[in-house]
Amino acid sequence: MLEAYVKKILSSEVYDVAVETPLEAAPFLSTRLNADVSFKREDLQPIHSFKIRGAYNRIVKLREHERERGVLAASAGNHAQGVALAASRLGIQATIVMGLNAPAIKIEAVQRLGAEVVLRGDTYDDAAQHAHALAERNGATLVSPYDDPAVIAGQGTVGVEILNQHEGDPDAIFVPVGGGGLVAGIAAYVKYLKPRVKIIGVEASGSDCLNQALIAGRRVRLRTEGMDLFADGASVAQVGKRPFQIARRHVDQVIVVTTDEICAAIKDIFDDTRAIAEPAGALAVAGLKRYVEDTQGSKRKYVAVISGSNVNFDRLRHISERAEFGERREALLGVSIPEKPGSFRRLCQTLGKRAITEFNYRSNDQRTAQVFLGVQVHDLDERRHVVNMLHKRGYIVDDMTDNEMAKLHVRHMVGGPASSVVGELLYRFEFPERPGALRTFLTEFGVDWNISLFHYRNHGAAWGRVLVGFTALDQDRRALHKYLDRIGYRYWEESANSAYRMFLV
């Protein structure tokens, strides 16, 4: 099987539109990890993504009658731009189906390339279903973003370039995974020529379709309502059939990383290149860092594929907030201090010369006050040391660094209870973000339950995140849950969350 793909890769027609991107040294990250790290800069392609390779290689092979009917694609954005550019160069009409929450920068880029954009659904799979229906209706050729031999072969040219450009063989190549076309193409070529080079796929937590498939021994479909769309360019519910056939035999390992780790990787890439990768584009670097940490391997040669840089500018605020957590360089602590003169000063003296990144205060009663505290630390060990030190000094401390509600909401709304609220149940919601989504969210709630607390921030991300308090007692919980289940949004009850108890009650 590999030999057949290698022949397809070597005969791929990609360089009419794609460029051979550089393999750049990453000196800052290499020094930190005590390794030789290089970035394969696919963000420098004309559409700022590797997707142009596979899209063009597929479309250029169409017969004349197929070209006359045009092409169709479903995409979160980067494949859409690849298809649009390829079709434009070849004089073919292109229609692209994208999710309603696709980043504006990607929608506008596709339209500038002359393709028609149809917005449908909240996920790639919703868009793909509609694209299939359109293709059956009008006879256009559906260009898969990953589950097509010509597409896989086009993406495999990245592997050709890496082996040609790298001095000696790398020990491992880290590749972001969505539907699997890129990792399959690279694995097919590299494993055929250099079987000892490890191919390591990297997926985002909540959209790890290849990881789940390898665990199950077969392709599985993730529940789309539970998928994390932060790395929207790699959020796919099911790995492609052809990519999985290659990956199950020739991908050595799959690493699953968190949102915070992805944000930290975006910062690492910026530090070395002054380029801003999109979340999916930074997956490989996040996985590389985790791999080095887990294996404690030093002085090895690693390559990470920076797959794209199509990121909305307004997402950078959210990314920068979370980057320090991904690097474990910031601790968020809830600290109870005596409500008396000099307490703040003594707490700061206890922390020593450590930088304070955040300091929110809420008086609790006549005896105690609650402080929501951000402290700069070097790593996880120092974070634990700070918590233990405060405990030894007699402070009541709650480490909230991994508390999602605290990071998303509470740090921005330290307050207290409404005096008129008799009972309150607290819930955190996520809904697909798009213009008017918040209004729709509020409309769905109607007037059946009284809202006592509400917090929403637009992060420029694919999901809107809301914290809602309902005027309700414990005995109302079952009825409230039935109501929320009927509405259909993802939710988590946070009534027992320590951040809520410390700063909002």
| Annotation marks residue 207 as catalytic | no
Provide the token pair at 125: 């799979």
Rounded CA-CA distance 374/403 in Å is: 13
Pairing of strands 71-74, 141-142: parallel
The H-or-E segment that residue 84 falls in is: helix 78-90
Rounded CA-CA distance 291/325 in Å is: 18
Rounded to the nearest 10 degrees, what angle do helices 104-112 and 78-90 cross at?
0
Query: Could you identify the residue written with the tokens 């859409």?
Result: 80
Q: Is the dihedral of CA 291, 292, 297, 303 positive or negative?
A: positive
Cβ–Cβ under 8 Å, residues 106 and 82:
no
Cβ–Cβ under 8 Å, residues 277 and 251:
no
Within 10 angstroms of residue 134's Cβ, the number of other Cβ atoms is 18
| Residue of 307, 309, 407, 452 marked active site | 307
The H-or-E segment that residue 273 falls in is: helix 259-273
| Residue of 8, 51, 289, 301 marked active site | 51
> Which DSSP string do the residues of 298-328 spell out, in sequence order?
-S-EEEEEE-B----GGGHHHHHHHHHHHTT
Tell which residue, 62, 40, 79, 477, has the closest CA to residue 277.
Answer: 40
| Annotation marks residue 307 as catalytic | yes
Rounded CA-CA distance 161/20 in Å is: 7
The catalytic site residues sit at 51, 307
